[in-house]
């Protein structure tokens, strides 16, 4: 364990780098502390005192003294325990810890954050995600290296079992804290550790941990392939000032579609659950128009063989400018992406909101004109049309002219002003 972890650190870290270690005082983080110290890496410590145990404050003092002894920077965050809010306490504490780590990391421009997760943590994480019905990519478990909220995260003990860490600390005569909450069955992680995993070992044999990690490794290999496929399809995802659109034909493979959509949602901080994403993919596959899922300011619309992820301003503003050269007319895709080539008869014409049951010069109602030219419904009332003397003489979404059967070329550019 010691040699492999040292080799990983030597191979991965830079001698000019500056690193941050999350130090709880437990065996795993103490092992990392001394490994970083022995390698003479430049690092500081961040410690979170949850205040759950009476020993928390004496441990805080001991860890601070340890850091001072070795001239290591010590960053402290105390969480005031709220006994009336113990539901999901583990997850809430985790979120607070990560927010603190991120604050220290970015304020001091660190190059990496070390977390003490080990192989037993990995086994518990994988099992938990399996039972929760998580995305397939999450079942591959925690990565030895990852990026989280702009932080480079290292888990150099992720392939090392807790028993090996204990052996190392014992051989080096290093002291550490045993957190009693790690054995408290009121916490889900503890129940998995002291009840579920031992039961599975009793039923299936002692190799169950290795088999769970092997499963995660195989899923990880599969996910690498799927992510490459999704990355190739992402080239066909179109982005504009109001959001994204893509053909629903890109979403035929379930896991691939999940990866593709989650990339968009994570980028825009759209918080969709697994169930909501699965519902959206189902709607896309069902080929039914005008199906919508709303999430905050965002609308996720399935229509006209496309999925739209968009945030429409309530009062859109458009400007019209002359094109230096004539070019073919754009349809609704141009407007969605921010600007559209249109034919604009200049004499006495102006932009104004559409009236969908108003007849065009060709005798067809505007709503029927939009229907036959496959204009998405949610754009029809949102984008202005071209008026002259109380009559509609052109639109900006169909890519066709209602004035003449002969082809017309665009002479102006309609641009969305998105504030």
| C-alpha dihedral sign at 85, 89, 95, 101 | positive
Alpha carbon distance 5, 33 (integer Å): 12
Read off φ and ψ for residue 77, nearest 5 degrees. -135, 125
Mean pLDDT for the chain?
90
Q: Each residue of 28-66: pLDDT tens digit? A: 999 999 999 999 999 999 999 987 777 888 999 999 999
Contact criterion met (CB below 8 Å) for 51 and 89: no
Average pLDDT over residues 71-85: 80
Q: What is the second-level CATH architecture of the domain 2-218? A: 3-Layer(aba) Sandwich (3.40)
Alpha carbon distance 351, 361 (integer Å): 17
Q: Each residue of 383-419: pLDDT tens digit? A: 999 999 999 999 999 999 988 877 789 999 999 886 5
Instruction: Provide the residue ranges of all domains of the chain, joining segments of one domain with +.
Output: 2-218, 237-310, 317-417
- pLDDT exceeds 60 at position 345: yes
Q: Which residues contact 257 (CB under 8 A, 6 or more apart)?
A: 250, 251, 281, 284
Which pLDDT value is given to residue 17?
A: 95
Contact criterion met (CB below 8 Å) for 410 and 328: yes
Q: Pick the more confident residue, 120 or 291.
A: 120
- pLDDT exceeds 90 at position 123: yes
- pLDDT exceeds 60 at position 188: yes
Provide the β-strand partners of residue 245. Answer: 238, 308
Average pLDDT over residues 295-324: 90
Average pLDDT over residues 374-384: 93
Q: Pick the more confident residue, 182 or 86.
A: 182
* Residue whose structure tokens are 């909220």: 149
Q: Each residue of 130-167: pLDDT tens digit? A: 998 888 888 889 999 999 989 999 999 999 999 999 99
Average pLDDT over residues 72-88: 75
Which pLDDT value is given to residue 84?
A: 46
Q: Pick the more confident residue, 287 or 4.
A: 4
Q: Which two tokens stand for residue 175?
A: 């002291």
């Amino acid at each position: 364990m010691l040699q492999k972890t040292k080799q990983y650190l030597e191979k991965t870290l830079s001698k000019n780098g500056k690193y941050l270690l999350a130090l709880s005082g437990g065996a795993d983080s103490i092992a990392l502390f001394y490994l970083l110290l022995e390698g003479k890496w430049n690092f500081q410590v961040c410690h979170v005192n949850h205040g759950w145990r009476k020993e928390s404050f004496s441990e805080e003092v001991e860890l601070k003294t340890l850091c001072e002894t070795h001239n290591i920077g010590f960053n402290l965050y105390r969480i005031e325990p709220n006994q009336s809010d113990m539901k999901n306490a583990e997850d809430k504490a985790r979120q607070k810890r990560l927010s603190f780590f991120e604050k220290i990391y970015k304020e001091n421009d660190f190059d990496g954050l070390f977390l003490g997760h080990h192989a037993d943590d990995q086994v518990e994480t994988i099992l938990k995600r399996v039972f929760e019905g998580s995305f397939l990519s999450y079942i591959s478990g925690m990565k030895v290296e990852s990026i989280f909220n702009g932080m480079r995260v290292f888990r150099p003990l992720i392939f090392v079992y807790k028993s090996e860490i204990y052996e190392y600390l014992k051989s080096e005569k290093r002291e550490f804290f045993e957190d009693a909450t790690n054995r408290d069955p009121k916490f889900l992680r503890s129940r998995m550790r002291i009840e579920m995993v031992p039961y599975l070992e009793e039923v299936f044999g002692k190799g169950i941990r290795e088999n769970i990690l092997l499963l995660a490794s195989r899923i990880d290999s599969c996910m690498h392939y799927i992510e490459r496929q999704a990355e190739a399809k992402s080239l066909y995802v179109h982005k504009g000032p109001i959001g994204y659109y893509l053909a629903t034909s890109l979403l035929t493979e379930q896991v691939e579609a999940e990866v593709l959509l989650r990339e968009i949602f994570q980028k825009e901080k759209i918080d969709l659950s697994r169930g909501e994403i699965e519902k959206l993919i189902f709607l896309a596959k069902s080929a039914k128009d005008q199906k919508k899922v709303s999430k905050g300011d965002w609308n996720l619309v399935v229509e006209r063989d496309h999925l739209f992820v968009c945030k429409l301003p309530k009062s859109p503003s458009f400007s019209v400018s002359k094109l230096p050269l004539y070019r073919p007319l754009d349809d609704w895709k141009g407007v969605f992406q921010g600007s559209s080539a249109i034919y604009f008869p200049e004499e006495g014409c102006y932009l104004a909101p559409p009236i969908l049951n108003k007849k065009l010069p060709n005798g067809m109602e505007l709503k029927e004109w939009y229907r036959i030219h496959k204009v998405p419904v949610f754009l029809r009332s949102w984008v202005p049309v071209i008026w002259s003397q109380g009559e509609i003489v052109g639109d900006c979404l169909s890519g066709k002219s209602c004035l003449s059967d002969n082809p017309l070329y665009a002479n102006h550019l309609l641009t969305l002003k998105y504030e």
